[in-house]
Amino acid sequence: MTQQGKLWGGRFEKEADAEAHAFGASILFDRRLYREDIAGSIAHATMLARQGILREGEAATLVKGLRQIQAEVDSGQVVPDLRWEDVHSFVESRLRETVGDVAGKLHTARSRNDQVALDVRLFARASIKEVVSRAARLQRTLLEMAEANLGVVMPGYTHMQRAQPVLFSHHLLAYFEMLQRDAERLQDCYRRANVMPLGSGALAGVTYPIDREYVREQLGFGSLSRNSMDAVCDRDFLVEQLAALSLIMVHLSRFAEEIILWSTEEFGFLELDDSYSTGSSIMPQKKNPDTAELIRGKTGRVYGALFALLTTLKGLPLTYNKDLQEDKEQYFDAVDTVSSCLKLFERMLATATVRSDQMREMAGGGFSTATDVADYLVRKGLAFRQAHEVVGRLVRHCMEVGGDIIDLPLADLKGFSPLFEEDIYGVDVDASVRARDVPGGTAPNRVREAIAEGVRLVAATEAWRISF
Protein backbone atom coordinates (compact mmCIF):
# COMPACT_ATOMS: atom_id res chain seq x y z
CA MET A 1 0.00 0.00 0.00
CA THR A 2 1.36 3.45 -0.86
CA GLN A 3 1.21 6.28 1.62
CA GLN A 4 -0.65 8.21 -1.07
CA GLY A 5 -3.51 5.73 -0.62
CA LYS A 6 -4.06 7.16 2.83
CA LEU A 7 -5.66 10.42 3.91
CA TRP A 8 -2.28 11.87 4.83
CA GLY A 9 -0.08 10.50 2.03
CA GLY A 10 1.16 13.69 0.35
CA ARG A 11 4.15 14.12 2.65
CA PHE A 12 5.48 10.61 1.97
CA GLU A 13 7.21 8.92 -0.97
CA LYS A 14 8.04 5.42 0.27
CA GLU A 15 5.43 2.68 0.42
CA ALA A 16 4.13 1.66 3.81
CA ASP A 17 5.55 -1.52 5.28
CA ALA A 18 2.78 -4.08 5.14
CA GLU A 19 3.26 -5.25 8.71
CA ALA A 20 3.55 -1.68 10.00
CA HIS A 21 0.33 -0.81 8.17
CA ALA A 22 -1.51 -3.77 9.73
CA PHE A 23 -0.01 -2.96 13.13
CA GLY A 24 -1.09 0.67 12.97
CA ALA A 25 -4.48 0.14 11.31
CA SER A 26 -7.58 0.31 13.47
CA ILE A 27 -10.10 -0.56 10.75
CA LEU A 28 -10.72 -4.10 11.99
CA PHE A 29 -12.29 -2.75 15.18
CA ASP A 30 -13.18 0.91 14.57
CA ARG A 31 -15.21 -0.05 11.48
CA ARG A 32 -17.87 -0.64 14.08
CA LEU A 33 -18.20 3.15 14.18
CA TYR A 34 -19.20 3.52 10.54
CA ARG A 35 -22.75 4.62 11.34
CA GLU A 36 -21.49 7.19 13.83
CA ASP A 37 -18.84 8.40 11.38
CA ILE A 38 -21.41 8.80 8.63
CA ALA A 39 -23.91 10.55 10.93
CA GLY A 40 -21.25 13.02 11.99
CA SER A 41 -20.16 13.56 8.38
CA ILE A 42 -23.73 14.26 7.25
CA ALA A 43 -24.20 16.85 9.98
CA HIS A 44 -20.81 18.38 9.16
CA ALA A 45 -21.48 18.58 5.41
CA THR A 46 -24.91 20.12 5.97
CA MET A 47 -23.40 22.73 8.30
CA LEU A 48 -20.65 23.58 5.79
CA ALA A 49 -23.31 24.35 3.18
CA ARG A 50 -25.38 26.45 5.60
CA GLN A 51 -22.28 28.48 6.36
CA GLY A 52 -21.45 28.96 2.69
CA ILE A 53 -18.22 26.98 2.99
CA LEU A 54 -19.62 24.42 0.52
CA ARG A 55 -22.23 24.90 -2.20
CA GLU A 56 -25.65 23.41 -1.50
CA GLY A 57 -25.30 21.01 -4.42
CA GLU A 58 -21.94 19.78 -3.18
CA ALA A 59 -23.32 19.09 0.27
CA ALA A 60 -26.35 17.31 -1.19
CA THR A 61 -24.05 15.09 -3.25
CA LEU A 62 -21.95 14.29 -0.21
CA VAL A 63 -24.98 13.46 1.93
CA LYS A 64 -26.45 11.21 -0.75
CA GLY A 65 -23.15 9.41 -1.15
CA LEU A 66 -22.73 8.96 2.60
CA ARG A 67 -26.17 7.44 2.91
CA GLN A 68 -25.39 5.08 0.04
CA ILE A 69 -22.22 3.94 1.82
CA GLN A 70 -24.15 3.24 5.00
CA ALA A 71 -26.66 1.16 3.05
CA GLU A 72 -23.81 -0.78 1.41
CA VAL A 73 -22.19 -1.61 4.73
CA ASP A 74 -25.53 -2.32 6.43
CA SER A 75 -26.34 -4.89 3.74
CA GLY A 76 -22.86 -6.43 3.71
CA GLN A 77 -22.28 -5.37 0.12
CA VAL A 78 -19.12 -3.55 1.23
CA VAL A 79 -16.96 -4.70 4.14
CA PRO A 80 -14.36 -2.31 5.58
CA ASP A 81 -11.04 -4.19 5.78
CA LEU A 82 -7.29 -3.66 5.85
CA ARG A 83 -7.31 -1.92 2.50
CA TRP A 84 -8.11 1.13 4.64
CA GLU A 85 -6.32 2.45 7.69
CA ASP A 86 -9.37 3.32 9.76
CA VAL A 87 -13.11 3.92 9.52
CA HIS A 88 -12.56 7.55 8.53
CA SER A 89 -10.32 6.71 5.57
CA PHE A 90 -12.76 3.97 4.54
CA VAL A 91 -15.73 6.36 4.47
CA GLU A 92 -13.87 9.12 2.67
CA SER A 93 -12.22 6.79 0.15
CA ARG A 94 -15.47 5.00 -0.59
CA LEU A 95 -17.18 8.39 -0.87
CA ARG A 96 -14.65 9.45 -3.48
CA GLU A 97 -15.37 6.26 -5.46
CA THR A 98 -19.09 7.01 -5.19
CA VAL A 99 -19.34 10.77 -5.87
CA GLY A 100 -15.95 11.74 -7.29
CA ASP A 101 -13.52 14.48 -6.29
CA VAL A 102 -16.13 16.49 -4.38
CA ALA A 103 -15.60 13.93 -1.60
CA GLY A 104 -12.33 15.70 -0.85
CA LYS A 105 -14.28 18.72 0.39
CA LEU A 106 -15.96 16.78 3.21
CA HIS A 107 -12.94 17.06 5.47
CA THR A 108 -12.92 20.86 5.32
CA ALA A 109 -12.77 22.33 8.87
CA ARG A 110 -12.33 18.90 10.42
CA SER A 111 -9.54 16.64 11.68
CA ARG A 112 -9.54 12.94 12.34
CA ASN A 113 -8.79 13.92 15.94
CA ASP A 114 -12.11 15.67 16.57
CA GLN A 115 -13.85 13.26 14.18
CA VAL A 116 -12.94 10.15 16.17
CA ALA A 117 -13.75 11.94 19.43
CA LEU A 118 -17.21 12.59 18.01
CA ASP A 119 -17.67 9.01 16.79
CA VAL A 120 -16.72 7.52 20.15
CA ARG A 121 -19.05 9.85 22.02
CA LEU A 122 -21.93 8.96 19.71
CA PHE A 123 -21.25 5.27 20.29
CA ALA A 124 -20.88 5.76 24.04
CA ARG A 125 -24.27 7.48 24.28
CA ALA A 126 -26.00 4.64 22.43
CA SER A 127 -24.20 1.92 24.38
CA ILE A 128 -25.07 3.53 27.71
CA LYS A 129 -28.74 3.52 26.75
CA GLU A 130 -28.50 -0.11 25.67
CA VAL A 131 -26.90 -1.27 28.91
CA VAL A 132 -29.34 0.76 31.02
CA SER A 133 -32.22 -0.83 29.12
CA ARG A 134 -30.87 -4.35 29.71
CA ALA A 135 -30.32 -3.61 33.39
CA ALA A 136 -33.93 -2.41 33.62
CA ARG A 137 -35.16 -5.65 32.08
CA LEU A 138 -33.27 -7.65 34.69
CA GLN A 139 -34.73 -5.38 37.37
CA ARG A 140 -38.24 -6.09 36.08
CA THR A 141 -37.58 -9.82 36.25
CA LEU A 142 -36.39 -9.43 39.85
CA LEU A 143 -39.58 -7.53 40.69
CA GLU A 144 -41.74 -10.18 39.05
CA MET A 145 -39.95 -12.97 40.94
CA ALA A 146 -40.22 -11.03 44.19
CA GLU A 147 -43.96 -10.58 43.69
CA ALA A 148 -44.50 -14.23 42.76
CA ASN A 149 -42.53 -15.54 45.77
CA LEU A 150 -43.55 -13.04 48.42
CA GLY A 151 -44.32 -15.71 51.03
CA VAL A 152 -41.10 -17.67 50.57
CA VAL A 153 -38.78 -17.57 53.59
CA MET A 154 -35.07 -18.36 53.25
CA PRO A 155 -32.03 -18.17 55.48
CA GLY A 156 -30.07 -14.94 55.35
CA TYR A 157 -26.32 -15.27 55.76
CA THR A 158 -23.36 -13.43 57.16
CA HIS A 159 -19.88 -14.93 56.82
CA MET A 160 -21.62 -17.66 54.77
CA GLN A 161 -23.23 -18.87 58.04
CA ARG A 162 -26.96 -18.92 58.55
CA ALA A 163 -27.89 -15.74 60.43
CA GLN A 164 -31.55 -14.67 60.35
CA PRO A 165 -34.61 -15.59 58.27
CA VAL A 166 -35.48 -13.24 55.42
CA LEU A 167 -37.98 -13.25 52.60
CA PHE A 168 -36.56 -14.60 49.34
CA SER A 169 -38.16 -11.54 47.76
CA HIS A 170 -36.14 -9.29 50.05
CA HIS A 171 -32.96 -11.06 48.99
CA LEU A 172 -33.82 -10.57 45.31
CA LEU A 173 -34.53 -6.90 45.87
CA ALA A 174 -31.02 -6.40 47.26
CA TYR A 175 -29.78 -7.05 43.72
CA PHE A 176 -32.48 -4.75 42.37
CA GLU A 177 -30.91 -1.97 44.45
CA MET A 178 -27.44 -2.72 43.10
CA LEU A 179 -28.73 -2.55 39.54
CA GLN A 180 -30.56 0.68 40.35
CA ARG A 181 -27.28 2.26 41.41
CA ASP A 182 -25.71 0.90 38.23
CA ALA A 183 -28.40 2.50 36.08
CA GLU A 184 -28.09 5.81 37.91
CA ARG A 185 -24.30 5.79 37.51
CA LEU A 186 -24.62 5.24 33.78
CA GLN A 187 -27.21 8.00 33.48
CA ASP A 188 -24.79 10.34 35.20
CA CYS A 189 -21.98 9.15 32.92
CA TYR A 190 -24.20 9.87 29.90
CA ARG A 191 -24.23 13.55 30.80
CA ARG A 192 -20.46 13.82 30.42
CA ALA A 193 -20.41 11.69 27.29
CA ASN A 194 -23.09 13.92 25.78
CA VAL A 195 -20.65 16.69 24.79
CA MET A 196 -20.03 17.61 21.14
CA PRO A 197 -16.29 17.91 20.26
CA LEU A 198 -16.49 18.43 16.50
CA GLY A 199 -15.05 21.79 15.52
CA SER A 200 -12.01 21.39 17.73
CA GLY A 201 -9.93 20.48 14.70
CA ALA A 202 -6.63 18.73 15.31
CA LEU A 203 -6.18 20.55 18.63
CA ALA A 204 -6.54 24.33 18.26
CA GLY A 205 -9.91 24.84 16.60
CA VAL A 206 -10.43 25.65 12.90
CA THR A 207 -10.11 28.77 10.76
CA TYR A 208 -13.47 28.45 8.99
CA PRO A 209 -16.70 30.17 10.10
CA ILE A 210 -18.36 26.93 11.23
CA ASP A 211 -21.54 26.67 13.29
CA ARG A 212 -20.79 24.18 16.05
CA GLU A 213 -24.14 24.82 17.71
CA TYR A 214 -25.98 23.69 14.59
CA VAL A 215 -23.99 20.44 14.47
CA ARG A 216 -24.68 19.93 18.18
CA GLU A 217 -28.40 20.27 17.57
CA GLN A 218 -28.35 17.95 14.56
CA LEU A 219 -26.60 15.22 16.53
CA GLY A 220 -28.60 15.76 19.72
CA PHE A 221 -25.73 16.58 22.04
CA GLY A 222 -26.39 18.35 25.32
CA SER A 223 -23.49 20.78 25.15
CA LEU A 224 -20.35 21.83 23.28
CA SER A 225 -16.82 21.05 24.43
CA ARG A 226 -15.26 24.18 25.90
CA ASN A 227 -11.56 23.59 25.14
CA SER A 228 -10.33 22.27 21.81
CA MET A 229 -7.16 20.71 23.27
CA ASP A 230 -9.06 18.83 25.94
CA ALA A 231 -11.82 17.82 23.51
CA VAL A 232 -9.61 15.80 21.16
CA CYS A 233 -7.89 13.78 23.90
CA ASP A 234 -10.58 13.50 26.57
CA ARG A 235 -11.50 9.89 27.25
CA ASP A 236 -12.63 10.37 30.84
CA PHE A 237 -16.18 9.55 29.83
CA LEU A 238 -15.01 6.13 28.62
CA VAL A 239 -13.18 5.49 31.89
CA GLU A 240 -16.34 6.42 33.78
CA GLN A 241 -18.43 4.12 31.65
CA LEU A 242 -15.97 1.25 32.04
CA ALA A 243 -15.96 1.79 35.81
CA ALA A 244 -19.76 1.65 35.84
CA LEU A 245 -19.70 -1.47 33.66
CA SER A 246 -17.17 -3.04 36.03
CA LEU A 247 -19.51 -2.44 38.96
CA ILE A 248 -22.36 -4.07 37.04
CA MET A 249 -20.13 -7.11 36.63
CA VAL A 250 -19.33 -7.04 40.36
CA HIS A 251 -23.03 -7.30 41.06
CA LEU A 252 -23.76 -9.92 38.42
CA SER A 253 -20.79 -11.97 39.57
CA ARG A 254 -21.93 -11.87 43.20
CA PHE A 255 -25.43 -12.92 42.18
CA ALA A 256 -24.04 -15.62 39.90
CA GLU A 257 -22.00 -16.98 42.80
CA GLU A 258 -25.14 -17.28 44.92
CA ILE A 259 -27.06 -18.93 42.10
CA ILE A 260 -24.22 -21.42 41.68
CA LEU A 261 -24.38 -22.20 45.40
CA TRP A 262 -28.17 -22.34 45.46
CA SER A 263 -28.26 -24.82 42.59
CA THR A 264 -26.04 -27.34 44.41
CA GLU A 265 -27.58 -30.35 46.12
CA GLU A 266 -26.14 -29.04 49.37
CA PHE A 267 -28.37 -25.94 49.14
CA GLY A 268 -31.09 -26.96 46.72
CA PHE A 269 -32.75 -23.53 46.73
CA LEU A 270 -32.95 -23.18 42.97
CA GLU A 271 -32.89 -25.29 39.82
CA LEU A 272 -31.71 -23.68 36.62
CA ASP A 273 -33.53 -24.44 33.41
CA ASP A 274 -31.83 -26.94 31.10
CA SER A 275 -31.45 -24.15 28.54
CA TYR A 276 -28.92 -22.40 30.78
CA SER A 277 -27.08 -25.47 32.06
CA THR A 278 -24.69 -28.03 30.62
CA GLY A 279 -23.71 -31.62 31.34
CA SER A 280 -20.49 -33.52 31.80
CA SER A 281 -18.65 -35.50 29.14
CA ILE A 282 -17.91 -38.26 31.67
CA MET A 283 -20.48 -37.95 34.49
CA PRO A 284 -23.99 -38.46 33.10
CA GLN A 285 -25.74 -37.23 36.27
CA LYS A 286 -24.22 -33.74 36.17
CA LYS A 287 -26.14 -30.52 35.56
CA ASN A 288 -23.69 -27.66 35.62
CA PRO A 289 -24.60 -23.95 36.03
CA ASP A 290 -22.26 -22.96 33.21
CA THR A 291 -24.08 -19.77 32.23
CA ALA A 292 -23.76 -18.40 35.76
CA GLU A 293 -20.14 -19.54 35.96
CA LEU A 294 -19.26 -17.83 32.68
CA ILE A 295 -20.90 -14.59 33.79
CA ARG A 296 -18.80 -14.76 36.93
CA GLY A 297 -15.73 -15.56 34.83
CA LYS A 298 -16.22 -12.78 32.29
CA THR A 299 -16.02 -10.16 35.03
CA GLY A 300 -12.24 -10.08 34.71
CA ARG A 301 -12.22 -9.02 31.08
CA VAL A 302 -14.36 -5.97 31.89
CA TYR A 303 -12.02 -5.04 34.74
CA GLY A 304 -9.16 -5.50 32.29
CA ALA A 305 -10.65 -3.00 29.86
CA LEU A 306 -10.92 -0.41 32.61
CA PHE A 307 -7.34 -0.83 33.78
CA ALA A 308 -6.02 -0.96 30.23
CA LEU A 309 -7.56 2.42 29.40
CA LEU A 310 -6.40 3.98 32.66
CA THR A 311 -2.89 2.77 31.90
CA THR A 312 -3.04 4.10 28.34
CA LEU A 313 -4.12 7.55 29.50
CA LYS A 314 -1.84 8.01 32.47
CA GLY A 315 1.28 9.19 30.60
CA LEU A 316 -0.12 11.03 27.60
CA PRO A 317 0.83 14.67 27.02
CA LEU A 318 -1.66 16.97 25.33
CA THR A 319 -3.17 16.49 22.88
CA TYR A 320 -3.89 13.58 20.54
CA ASN A 321 -1.44 10.66 20.53
CA LYS A 322 -1.65 7.42 18.58
CA ASP A 323 -1.92 5.61 21.91
CA LEU A 324 -5.55 6.75 21.99
CA GLN A 325 -6.28 4.24 19.24
CA GLU A 326 -6.11 1.71 22.08
CA ASP A 327 -9.23 3.18 23.69
CA LYS A 328 -11.68 1.24 21.52
CA GLU A 329 -11.03 -2.47 21.12
CA GLN A 330 -11.32 -3.48 24.79
CA TYR A 331 -14.00 -0.86 25.38
CA PHE A 332 -16.16 -2.40 22.65
CA ASP A 333 -15.53 -5.83 24.16
CA ALA A 334 -16.54 -4.62 27.62
CA VAL A 335 -19.79 -3.12 26.33
CA ASP A 336 -20.60 -6.33 24.45
CA THR A 337 -19.70 -8.50 27.45
CA VAL A 338 -21.87 -6.58 29.90
CA SER A 339 -24.80 -6.41 27.48
CA SER A 340 -24.73 -10.16 26.84
CA CYS A 341 -24.26 -10.98 30.53
CA LEU A 342 -27.26 -8.85 31.50
CA LYS A 343 -29.40 -10.42 28.78
CA LEU A 344 -28.46 -14.00 29.64
CA PHE A 345 -28.72 -13.42 33.38
CA GLU A 346 -32.26 -12.12 32.96
CA ARG A 347 -33.29 -15.17 30.93
CA MET A 348 -31.51 -17.60 33.26
CA LEU A 349 -33.24 -16.11 36.29
CA ALA A 350 -36.67 -15.88 34.70
CA THR A 351 -36.67 -19.59 33.81
CA ALA A 352 -35.27 -20.90 37.12
CA THR A 353 -37.41 -22.97 39.51
CA VAL A 354 -37.54 -21.81 43.13
CA ARG A 355 -37.42 -24.62 45.73
CA SER A 356 -39.41 -22.83 48.41
CA ASP A 357 -39.80 -25.86 50.73
CA GLN A 358 -36.05 -26.35 50.92
CA MET A 359 -35.53 -22.65 51.58
CA ARG A 360 -38.06 -22.67 54.43
CA GLU A 361 -36.60 -25.80 55.98
CA MET A 362 -33.11 -24.32 56.05
CA ALA A 363 -34.38 -20.93 57.20
CA GLY A 364 -35.36 -22.44 60.54
CA GLY A 365 -32.06 -24.19 61.13
CA GLY A 366 -28.82 -22.97 62.59
CA PHE A 367 -30.60 -21.17 65.46
CA SER A 368 -31.61 -18.46 63.00
CA THR A 369 -34.25 -17.08 65.40
CA ALA A 370 -31.80 -16.69 68.29
CA THR A 371 -31.80 -12.91 67.97
CA ASP A 372 -35.61 -12.97 68.09
CA VAL A 373 -35.45 -14.95 71.35
CA ALA A 374 -33.09 -12.33 72.75
CA ASP A 375 -35.47 -9.58 71.60
CA TYR A 376 -38.30 -11.50 73.33
CA LEU A 377 -36.41 -11.30 76.64
CA VAL A 378 -35.70 -7.60 76.08
CA ARG A 379 -39.41 -6.95 75.67
CA LYS A 380 -39.88 -8.77 78.99
CA GLY A 381 -37.57 -6.27 80.66
CA LEU A 382 -34.09 -7.77 80.38
CA ALA A 383 -31.18 -5.65 79.10
CA PHE A 384 -30.08 -6.73 75.63
CA ARG A 385 -26.55 -7.70 76.71
CA GLN A 386 -27.96 -9.95 79.42
CA ALA A 387 -30.50 -11.37 76.98
CA HIS A 388 -27.70 -12.03 74.49
CA GLU A 389 -25.78 -13.98 77.13
CA VAL A 390 -28.85 -16.02 78.15
CA VAL A 391 -29.59 -17.01 74.56
CA GLY A 392 -25.92 -17.80 73.94
CA ARG A 393 -26.01 -20.28 76.84
CA LEU A 394 -29.28 -21.68 75.50
CA VAL A 395 -27.74 -22.26 72.07
CA ARG A 396 -24.76 -24.07 73.61
CA HIS A 397 -27.16 -26.24 75.64
CA CYS A 398 -29.22 -27.09 72.56
CA MET A 399 -26.09 -28.03 70.65
CA GLU A 400 -25.22 -30.45 73.45
CA VAL A 401 -28.65 -32.05 73.76
CA GLY A 402 -29.87 -31.61 70.19
CA GLY A 403 -32.77 -29.58 68.85
CA ASP A 404 -33.65 -25.89 68.66
CA ILE A 405 -34.45 -23.41 71.42
CA ILE A 406 -38.21 -23.64 71.00
CA ASP A 407 -37.98 -27.45 71.08
CA LEU A 408 -37.14 -27.26 74.80
CA PRO A 409 -39.89 -27.59 77.44
CA LEU A 410 -40.88 -24.35 79.16
CA ALA A 411 -39.45 -25.59 82.45
CA ASP A 412 -36.03 -25.98 80.83
CA LEU A 413 -36.27 -22.51 79.30
CA LYS A 414 -37.16 -21.00 82.70
CA GLY A 415 -33.98 -22.55 84.04
CA PHE A 416 -32.12 -20.05 81.87
CA SER A 417 -34.49 -17.13 82.55
CA PRO A 418 -37.74 -16.89 84.52
CA LEU A 419 -38.98 -14.40 81.94
CA PHE A 420 -39.80 -17.15 79.47
CA GLU A 421 -43.55 -17.83 79.08
CA GLU A 422 -45.73 -19.89 76.76
CA ASP A 423 -45.68 -17.14 74.16
CA ILE A 424 -42.03 -17.95 73.42
CA TYR A 425 -43.27 -20.76 71.21
CA GLY A 426 -44.69 -18.21 68.81
CA VAL A 427 -41.15 -17.16 67.88
CA ASP A 428 -40.66 -18.90 64.53
CA VAL A 429 -39.26 -17.92 61.11
CA ASP A 430 -42.51 -16.27 59.99
CA ALA A 431 -42.75 -14.21 63.17
CA SER A 432 -39.08 -13.30 62.81
CA VAL A 433 -39.67 -11.96 59.32
CA ARG A 434 -42.85 -10.08 60.29
CA ALA A 435 -41.11 -8.47 63.25
CA ARG A 436 -38.62 -6.62 61.07
CA ASP A 437 -41.23 -4.07 60.10
CA VAL A 438 -39.00 -1.06 59.50
CA PRO A 439 -38.26 0.85 56.28
CA GLY A 440 -35.89 -1.34 54.29
CA GLY A 441 -36.68 -4.40 56.41
CA THR A 442 -37.77 -7.87 55.36
CA ALA A 443 -41.33 -7.75 56.73
CA PRO A 444 -43.87 -8.66 54.01
CA ASN A 445 -45.56 -5.25 53.97
CA ARG A 446 -42.19 -3.52 53.65
CA VAL A 447 -41.20 -5.79 50.80
CA ARG A 448 -44.50 -5.02 49.05
CA GLU A 449 -43.68 -1.33 49.40
CA ALA A 450 -40.21 -1.96 47.96
CA ILE A 451 -41.70 -3.79 44.97
CA ALA A 452 -44.05 -0.89 44.28
CA GLU A 453 -41.16 1.57 44.54
CA GLY A 454 -39.10 -0.66 42.25
CA VAL A 455 -41.81 -0.55 39.61
CA ARG A 456 -41.74 3.25 39.80
CA LEU A 457 -37.95 3.38 39.53
CA VAL A 458 -37.83 1.11 36.48
CA ALA A 459 -40.51 3.20 34.78
CA ALA A 460 -38.43 6.32 35.47
CA THR A 461 -35.37 4.63 33.97
CA GLU A 462 -37.26 3.69 30.83
CA ALA A 463 -38.63 7.22 30.56
CA TRP A 464 -35.05 8.56 30.77
CA ARG A 465 -33.87 6.18 28.08
CA ILE A 466 -36.41 7.36 25.51
CA SER A 467 -36.19 11.05 26.42
CA PHE A 468 -33.15 11.74 24.22
Q: Are residues 68 and 131 located together in one domain of the fold?
A: no
* Average pLDDT of the segment spanning 258-271: 97
Q: pLDDT > 90: what percent of the chain? A: 92
| Domain annotation covers residue 376 | yes
Q: Are residues 253 and 345 located together in one domain of the fold?
A: yes
| Domain annotation covers residue 338 | yes
Q: Kindly tell me if the per-residue pLDDT of 155 is higher than 50.
A: yes
| Domain annotation covers residue 75 | yes
| Domain annotation covers residue 91 | yes
Q: Are residues 273 and 392 located together in one domain of the fold?
A: no
Of 108, 140, 159, the one marking the end of a domain is 108
Task: Mention every residue, 6+ apart, whose C-beta is less than 8 A from residue 57.
Answer: none
Query: Which of the pair, 360 or 281, is modelled with greater confidence?
Result: 360
Q: Kindly tell me if the per-residue pLDDT of 9 is higher than 90.
A: no
| Domain annotation covers residue 49 | yes
Of 60, 87, 108, the one marking the end of a domain is 108
Q: Are residues 281 and 304 located together in one domain of the fold?
A: yes
Q: Kindly tell me if the per-residue pLDDT of 284 is higher than 90.
A: no
Q: Kindly tell me if the per-residue pLDDT of 28 is higher than 60.
A: yes
pLDDT tens-place string over residues 306-356: 999 999 999 999 999 999 999 999 999 999 999 999 999 999 999 999 999
Mean pLDDT rounded to a whole number for the chain: 95
Please give the Cα distance from 210 to 208 (Å, whole number). 6
Q: What is the CATH number of the domain that holds 461?
A: 1.20.200.10
pLDDT tens-place string over residues 342-391: 999 999 999 999 999 999 999 999 899 999 999 999 999 999 999 999 99
- Residue 444, CA distances (Å) to 146, 162, 434, 439 in order: 11, 20, 7, 11
Q: Are residues 195 and 90 located together in one domain of the fold?
A: no
Q: Are residues 125 and 54 located together in one domain of the fold?
A: no
pLDDT tens-place string over residues 35-46: 999 999 999 999
Q: Are residues 24 and 164 located together in one domain of the fold?
A: no
Q: Are residues 167 and 21 located together in one domain of the fold?
A: no
Q: What confidence category does residue 167 fall into, taking pLDDT thresholds of 50, 70 and 90?
A: very high
| Domain annotation covers residue 218 | no
| Domain annotation covers residue 207 | no
Q: Are residues 124 and 100 located together in one domain of the fold?
A: no
Instruction: Domain count for the chain, please give it.
Output: 3
Q: What is the CATH number of the domain that holds 38?
A: 1.10.275.10
Q: Are residues 50 and 135 located together in one domain of the fold?
A: no
Active site residues: 159, 280
What per-residue confidence (pLDDT) applies to 254? 98
Q: Are residues 401 and 273 located together in one domain of the fold?
A: no
Crossing angle between the packed helical segments 236-262 and 112-148, to the nearest 10 degrees: 30
| Domain annotation covers residue 452 | no
Q: Are residues 95 and 146 located together in one domain of the fold?
A: no
Please give the Cα distance from 266 to 348 (Å, whole number). 20
Question: Which residue range forms the structural domain that includes residue 103?
Answer: 3-108
